[in-house]
Structure 1
């Protein structure tokens, strides 16, 4: 019988001590430039150093800049840094490959760590495929002689301003239109030279992994008759010398992230079981599987691992001994790192606590782990621990002075029984400097997805609301990940139903437990699905005095035909729209807009193809026609998630000013 064991990492690891709150000041928008985002920690083969990425907003150039940083694992001592991203150690630990730009030429470079000399290797043409920017799309061969990568077959065509003609469903990218190039697996010598295509043809390939003998590359590809209308990403291998292909899995659903076992006998992968899913925020949690790498059992069902972890599994990787597969999963607002034994399916909880841990890597001996950790009052930093989670310690402190000088607010956890008895989790943040006995306006913030999750991680927007004197309520309604498959399925066929009732019940519970919340001065906001729910909320109740809907949906019928993710509606409602237009209209906020009185600000990127700006335009127009106060803020060149630092700050400023106008 599979079991789950807890490691000593349950013991808390405290972050750097900070002064008392009285010595701090409230967080301001100008402080956004001081936040250093830490990601992608890569432990050196000998375990003595960590390379990672530090990013920060540059308001002078209005872009986010990234540097590769190196620190010693023994004491956190800085070893060096250089401009770039996505660092990966050579197997001998003497070099770092990275993505960067030098002298006007971008691409993949290799830096010799002893001399600091950098060599350009290749400039992979970027792909617009929905899996094209996967972090598993380039890798060193285990013998260090080659680098495999995924790239489009040729440079993007030059557009001359003429008509763009399409004859496929997936003709949009996240902020533009597809150029119809295919994406393939290439190899190039680590010393440089001419790349060689291993899989060129009429299909797209992604998410690569080397075999331990450096002779094969595993990848995923949908080779069905119509990949735009399919979810059949199967695992394949290609022989680097001969180009011979082997299909390893054959499934009506999708597989991702194939990883060879250290002995080369097995391939692990993440995937779904249901044949109909969606490429964006599926309701089905991802699972972990194991299959014979030879492909001889391609028609057989792969073996599922870690079944008892009823969560959305991702970030899977083998330890060098082959005794464990590591993975992470969202859980009750945290993000936990686990490992499972492929032989007996015993699961160990490796890193867990009141924080989110993710983005981990192991050294070549499999004895040390580096990972990213953040919580509600600490931006992400690099931590290291033993491979079993013991002896965890903080390695970097890029944001230490920021945390020491600012009044960040902690999230207070609460649970409540919703309308049907379902247990639901939420958090409350007090306004900065709250005075006992005084009441404060409070904002209900709704997460996206629909299968996203709030939790104990640092979120500047929420801290900014609290710093401006607002309470913040966060709730994970049914449909959220991190609570099991049944809970994640809770919003399917029922957008705006049980999830809306959970939100209202949670807000009522927060008000009852916290007398400082002023129930007469409530606001609501959310992004993406949170924007949809914001639009839905204001059509169902008058209890909110102001709303801010970002990247929001309003009309599920028109959304289907204009969004990049047409399959989202198909998967969430288990039908094609024309099978039951009335059902989609029933759950569309626009259908219930008559009688709405809540002043609403709409924030939207003009080239958002995930949720086209027409969704905001429809709701905005309806409110204005009804005489309701409404403003539409359009951001040129921005998609579903804003990239320009000045636009991020501007949208946060407009949000707070809108709430100030109606809640003060």
Structure 2
């Protein structure tokens, strides 16, 4: 969630760096180095795709930081690398998409490119591999920019994808922002459009309007139309006001505005829409609508609308779970992957024109799942009898899972990370009631936990606020579960504002940031302390993005926390409104702009209560963060330093909201671990 004007940041970061280094990297603990080394060994599985006939699996796995494609039987046997690369780890191949014939696999590769593309790396192009032939993949395109989200038309004649011609950065608010130079808001705007390419090769056709930024799209069953979610550029900012459109899959075609959440009446008004999905007969489009703070991290209710437009219908009003991803399995049924009390749960729904009713839960996974296309995304065979996905948990490192839908939760069909074992303690779901809400969270025990001893506990608040903590294997960077390996409890609550309890629960912290959700979190701390031996005088707090805001705001409201690490936080919602590059997200949550209702922003601004803070605080942020701009971290750090509160600020050069440099990821986690060891020692 959450974006700067940063012309002075490089100078300021250079001035501050010596202070940060001296304060946060002294007296290294050898256990920290061991832990960081282990975290760096995981091989990420970025995508999983099951062939439509259910017989073949493809996945994308990283080798030495480079993604490569593996092809196998559906049970994982006969796995072998495919693509242009002569060996894994030397170039990038990803973006896999099966053709309807289950024989051809499209992908993106820069392995044979001699042209420079985005960020100085080699330009990626579209290739198609005939999986039943020993020949080389066919080169289909000569792109100049950023492409992703490859998707075959149902008739197999055309490939569609999202394309930013001349891109200088990935199309994501999480990526490092461009330098703020030139005429702001006018010059250098990059627009993502739907593009198509004949499956046999040919010219790329830009389908959607040049002034409209497209976030997601879907082919109609007739292969002649596309539905897409789009807004005026700039794309980073305007997803929160995006509309649903339908048009012919041809350039310069007239489009139809199907749903405008900004003007529609009913529960969808002013909310966000995502994941358009055509009904099998092409008459309707279903989508997820809700209060969502991040494009790509979807949750809400399932809506339906006639493909030609009309009033959208909330099919799942009042449910107590949060659908995050779905697919039509028949004209009268949906398969829905949903957040439920901190778990990922696949359920079958029957659907008619007015309602979608859950019939049964097919399985609940033991960790976080996705297929690479979307959070909670799954890859199904065409008959929806088989499913595949990547899964990890606190106990098991990432692997590819596949199996029959009706046989319970699928088993792992790979052993890519099988040698990795957790060096942290066991995980346990914790539930409690507070203020009329039922709340859930995850608790990691200290390694080698002894109930006769008292341990410190670190509370990790997730980002969003619309989001949820699911069990997931931790990695380097802003992943704080490994603190358990150094003798801490780690508590990860899903308070009001989180997915998993229904849309009313998600919307319960509107215009109330830092109050109700903080009280839910503190009630969760009390519940944990009644359950296990936590030392209440040794509590720490950590978070990133919205969690970074909470890490700045909570010490102004309570003295229970003795050490804090605030990552990419927000100190002052009023100044933040004018600094970030995604201000459109704020109106759904605050109810008005800062110019129309400054008081609602002021009441949740840590800077207005800053003299209450006594807690030593480490502050970290990316220099080019477009979501949570670095000046917010400077403002909080400056106040604490002036007030004599122990503090350190570290600004990481050229990083955005999501850090991509492995050196920075490792450094961030090392500093956080050192900070807690200094101010919240595991041994009393």
TM-score normalized with structure 2 length: 0.81
In structure 2, the residue matched to 1:175 is none
Offset of 1:241 from its aligned partner? 8.9
In structure 1, the residue matched to 2:556 is 539
In structure 2, the residue matched to 1:455 is 470
State the distance in 2 between where 1:230 and 1:512 align: 41
In structure 1, the residue matched to 2:130 is 112
Per-residue CA shift, 1:455-507, capped at 9, x if unaligned? 32323434420111222122222211111222212211111111112222221
Answer with 302-311 or 138-147: which moved more.
302-311
State the distance in 2 between where 1:658 and 1:505 align: 25
Secondary structure of the structure 2 residue equivalent to 1:378 = coil
State the distance in 1 between where 2:296 and 2:522 align: 24
Secondary structure of the structure 1 residue equivalent to 2:543 = strand
State the distance in 1 between where 2:274 and 2:127 align: 26
Secondary structure of the structure 2 residue equivalent to 1:499 = helix
The answer (yes or no) to whether the contact 2:59–2:69 under 8 Å persists in 1 is yes
How does 1:90-169 map onto structure 2 within 5 Å? 90-104=99-113, 105-113=123-131, 114-126=133-145, 137-152=149-164, 163-167=181-185
State the distance in 1 between where 2:657 and 2:180 align: 26
The answer (yes or no) to whether the contact 1:239–1:245 under 8 Å persists in 2 is no
Offset of 1:121 from its aligned partner? 2.0
State the distance in 1 between where 2:514 and 2:663 align: 33
In structure 1, the residue matched to 2:620 is 603
Secondary structure of the structure 2 residue equivalent to 1:593 = helix
State the distance in 1 between where 2:238 and 2:218 align: 24
The answer (yes or no) to whether the contact 1:224–1:232 under 8 Å persists in 2 is no
State the distance in 2 between where 1:539 and 1:622 align: 12
Counterparts in 2 of 1:592 and 1:123: CA distance versus 1, 3 Å: farther
- The one of 225, 235, 244 equivalent to 1:234 is 244
Counterparts in 2 of 1:123 and 1:645: CA distance versus 1, 3 Å: farther
Counterparts in 2 of 1:584 and 1:505: CA distance versus 1, 3 Å: same
In structure 1, the residue matched to 2:327 is 317
Answer with 632-641 or 438-447: which moved more.
438-447
Offset of 1:550 from its aligned partner? 0.6
Offset of 1:117 from its aligned partner? 0.7
The answer (yes or no) to whether the contact 2:321–2:502 under 8 Å persists in 1 is yes
State the distance in 1 between where 2:563 and 2:298 align: 34
State the distance in 2 between where 1:283 and 1:377 align: 23
Instruction: Indicate yes or no: 2:294 matched with 1:280.
Output: yes
The answer (yes or no) to whether the contact 1:416–1:425 under 8 Å persists in 2 is yes
In structure 1, the residue matched to 2:415 is 397
In structure 1, the residue matched to 2:514 is 496
- The one of 338, 349, 363 equivalent to 2:361 is 349
In structure 2, the residue matched to 1:70 is 71
The answer (yes or no) to whether the contact 1:220–1:236 under 8 Å persists in 2 is no
How does 1:548-559 map onto structure 2 within 5 Å? 548-559=565-576
Counterparts in 2 of 1:449 and 1:401: CA distance versus 1, 3 Å: same
The answer (yes or no) to whether the contact 1:27–1:408 under 8 Å persists in 2 is no
The answer (yes or no) to whether the contact 1:284–1:485 under 8 Å persists in 2 is no
Secondary structure of the structure 2 residue equivalent to 1:327 = strand
Gaps of at least 5 residues in structure 1 are 1-24, 59-63, 128-132, 169-177
Answer with 219-228 or 481-490: which moved more.
219-228
State the distance in 2 between where 1:411 and 1:65 align: 31
State the distance in 1 between where 2:508 and 2:78 align: 48
State the distance in 1 between where 2:406 and 2:33 align: 39
Secondary structure of the structure 1 residue equivalent to 2:110 = strand
Counterparts in 2 of 1:72 and 1:323: CA distance versus 1, 3 Å: farther
How does 1:377-456 map onto structure 2 within 5 Å? 377-388=395-406, 390=408, 392-403=410-421, 406-418=422-434, 420-456=435-471
Per-residue CA shift, 1:361-394, capped at 9, x if unaligned? 1112332111233222112322223234547322
Counterparts in 2 of 1:125 and 1:332: CA distance versus 1, 3 Å: farther
The answer (yes or no) to whether the contact 2:145–2:165 under 8 Å persists in 1 is no
Per-residue CA shift, 1:326-346, capped at 9, x if unaligned? 232211111122232333734
The answer (yes or no) to whether the contact 1:539–1:596 under 8 Å persists in 2 is yes
Per-residue CA shift, 1:245-304, capped at 9, x if unaligned? 4444455355433223333333322334xxxx66637999533233333x1xx2x21343
Per-residue CA shift, 1:616-641, capped at 9, x if unaligned? 10110111111111111111011111
State the distance in 1 between where 2:199 and 2:159 align: 6
The answer (yes or no) to whether the contact 1:605–1:637 under 8 Å persists in 2 is yes
Counterparts in 2 of 1:409 and 1:462: CA distance versus 1, 3 Å: farther
Offset of 1:551 from its aligned partner? 0.6
Counterparts in 2 of 1:181 and 1:376: CA distance versus 1, 3 Å: closer
State the distance in 2 between where 1:451 and 1:652 align: 24
In structure 2, the residue matched to 1:50 is 57
Number of residue pairs the alignment of both structures matches? 604
State the distance in 2 between where 1:471 and 1:42 align: 37
Offset of 1:242 from its aligned partner? 8.6
The answer (yes or no) to whether the contact 1:409–1:431 under 8 Å persists in 2 is yes
Instruction: Indicate yes or no: 2:497 matched with 1:479.
Output: yes
State the distance in 2 between where 1:478 and 1:247 align: 33
Higher relative contact order by CA 8 Å / sep ≥ 6: 1 or 2? 2
The answer (yes or no) to whether the contact 1:256–1:271 under 8 Å persists in 2 is yes
Offset of 1:532 from its aligned partner? 0.9
In structure 1, the residue matched to 2:14 is none
Instruction: Indicate yes or no: 2:305 matched with 1:291.
Output: yes
State the distance in 2 between where 1:386 and 1:558 align: 52
Secondary structure of the structure 2 residue equivalent to 1:34 = coil
State the distance in 2 between where 1:392 and 1:368 align: 9
State the distance in 2 between where 1:284 and 1:38 align: 21
Secondary structure of the structure 2 residue equivalent to 1:359 = coil
In structure 2, the residue matched to 1:528 is 545
The answer (yes or no) to whether the contact 1:29–1:649 under 8 Å persists in 2 is yes
TM-score normalized with structure 1 length: 0.83
